[in-house]
Amino acid sequence: MTEATPAKTDARFADRAFVALQLCLPTRWLSLLVFKLTQLRAPRFKNALIRLFLRGYTIDLSEAEFDDIERYDSFNHFFTRALKPGARPMPGNAQAFVSPVDGTISQFGTISEDRIIQAKGHSFSLYDLLPGDADAGDFVGGEFCTIYLAPYNYHRIHMPIDGRLAHWNYVPGRLFSVNAATARALPNLFTRNERLNARFDTPAGPVALSMVGALFVGSLETVWSGRVTPPHLRHASDGGPYTTMQPVALARGAEMGRFNMGSTVILLAARGAIRWAQDIAPGQPVRLGATLGNWRRAGA
């Protein structure tokens, strides 16, 4: 489990150089350009782009809704592809708190007061992660898990536990890469980047899910609001939080949103709400539906 107090960073010269390059790049413009390119429907262009991507990454299309690239309308349609029904069965244990995505565990553990570990030597405040949330203090001393989605991962986001949407908000920000190199070298990475935060009322108490945008992440989307970005804003005209006109109740394993290109999801739960599984560790790949731990009923 993650230590409460970060030590000296593991950042290398190459990590710092990569961050310095990103600081000079027009990341919002580049991300918008990638979004527009991935939306193009010209068959020859989108098929060539998909084939190029498949040569660069190992992707199992046998579990995808369509295994024939001709059936995808655009590269984005392919990138945000759905899975075949039953491809990610939920565990039989109703108390299992599951991974909402395919990805790699970056960090997890107990929040030390309001500080969340980003990487060795770096932490950030949950109040900075959840600006405008008057109830962010509910997660002080609570539990967190950060999962990184690489470009080759399945990019839809699902519920880790049954929940009813309480409120959500969009937070403008930068669009730095969220890979391990940037996490090691750039302080407060996840609170600098654009993100969408959603808070749910669950049997384990409040659970928040933060969808953190990143370089070349062309779109953040939820099932209740549709596409939220682009445009990638520098300042929010109304930071929320927002509540939906109709109640939004989602079962464990139900889709709640999606990314275009790789990014990061941060899960937050209240103090003592989650007992993490003994066999998970930072750097470990996980798949949607894998048990991260067991949740404890609020007030029990």
What residues are annotated to the active site? Answer: 102, 158, 263
- The CA distance from 143 to 4, in Å, is 11
Phi (first) and psi of residue 57, to 5 degrees: -135, 150
| Residues 6+ positions from 255 with CB-CB distance below 8 Å | 156, 157, 158, 223
Q: Which of 221, 240, 229 is nearest to 169 (CA)?
A: 240
Burial status of residue 188 (CB atoms within 10 A of its CB: 0-12, 13-18, 19 or more): middle
- The CA distance from 188 to 34, in Å, is 25
- The CA distance from 218 to 37, in Å, is 10
- The CA distance from 290 to 272, in Å, is 20
Residue pair 50/67 in contact (Cβ under 8 Å)? The answer is: no
**DSSP string over 71-85:** G-SSHHHHHTPPBPT
The bridge status of strand 205-212 relative to strand 274-276 is unpaired
Q: How long, in residues, is the chain?
A: 300
| Residues 6+ positions from 30 with CB-CB distance below 8 Å | 175, 215, 216
Cα 130 vs. chain centroid, distance in angstroms? 14
